[in-house]
Chain A
């Protein structure tokens, strides 16, 4: 099992993601932003950071990086894709996930641990959790305030596409949404950082199952 991690100028959680993937037992593969293909990986993580300096809007420029073309095809054909933090923002800008991430209502960068509840375990990235599991995960963002129009939110709720929900909302997100998935459930975006909670040495390994889940998913498919 090989899991790719995209690297844009300004990505800063790529190493953490590569580490978490290897700790989960998969081979981690760097995918440079100027690459024209995904090197045959079985899943892709779009990591956190400040791609292209967050110029214009977070994720707005990264969304047009060369590697995102094949990533869109991979996602549309059902390949498992996880966007964390800035990666989540990239996926919304690329319309692989609905809505957008606005400035935190506090106008402050939030860097802390938050408690979240796992709502949907029928995704390749959360299948090893139990619905209702409560996790403590790191967040670090300035634009984590999830927004979508009312119709989209109703659709997400009706279809059970909220993946993680904050127990104590740090950024003003609609309906306490911390993570969600696309219609096919293969594309997941999370504001909290599971890769930063992938080793007890980091204070917690409660996020490791995200990467172990996708391993099991790929194994089950073969």
Chain B
């Protein structure tokens, strides 16, 4: 039965230009571990779901998974 479900992967990240203090903190931490040459780090959120249909994924992203005021999202059907 479960093979009727679609695997969906949603990627949510801060809109460009929105402050990303987590990414900035990690960017500063990397050289401290000896990893040089890191220009930028941005941190987002990965959401994986199994759903019956992909029809409502867009609505899920817009209404709950991402806040369009500060975040952008993209999603894909994995299988």
Interface membership of B8, Cβ < 8 A: no
The tally of residues in A whose CB lies under 8 Å from a CB in B reads 20
Q: Which of A64-103 contact B (CB under 8 A)?
A: 64, 92-93, 98-100, 102-103
Q: Contact check: which of B18, B21, B22, B67 meets A57 at CB < 8 Å?
A: B67
**Chain B residue contacts of A64, Cβ below 8 A:** 64
Q: Which of A94-139 contact B (CB under 8 A)?
A: 98-100, 102-107
**In contact, B65 and A56 (Cβ under 8 angstroms):** yes
**In contact, B21 and A105 (Cβ under 8 angstroms):** yes
Interface membership of A153, Cβ < 8 A: no
The tally of residues in B whose CB lies under 8 Å from a CB in A reads 11
**In contact, B67 and A100 (Cβ under 8 angstroms):** yes
Q: List 26 A-B contacts (CB under 8 A).
A: A56-B64, A56-B65, A57-B67, A60-B64, A92-B69, A93-B67, A99-B69, A100-B67, A100-B70, A102-B18, A102-B70, A103-B19, A103-B21, A103-B22, A105-B21, A106-B21, A107-B21, A107-B22, A107-B25, A145-B19, A147-B18, A147-B19, A147-B69, A147-B70, A149-B69, A172-B19
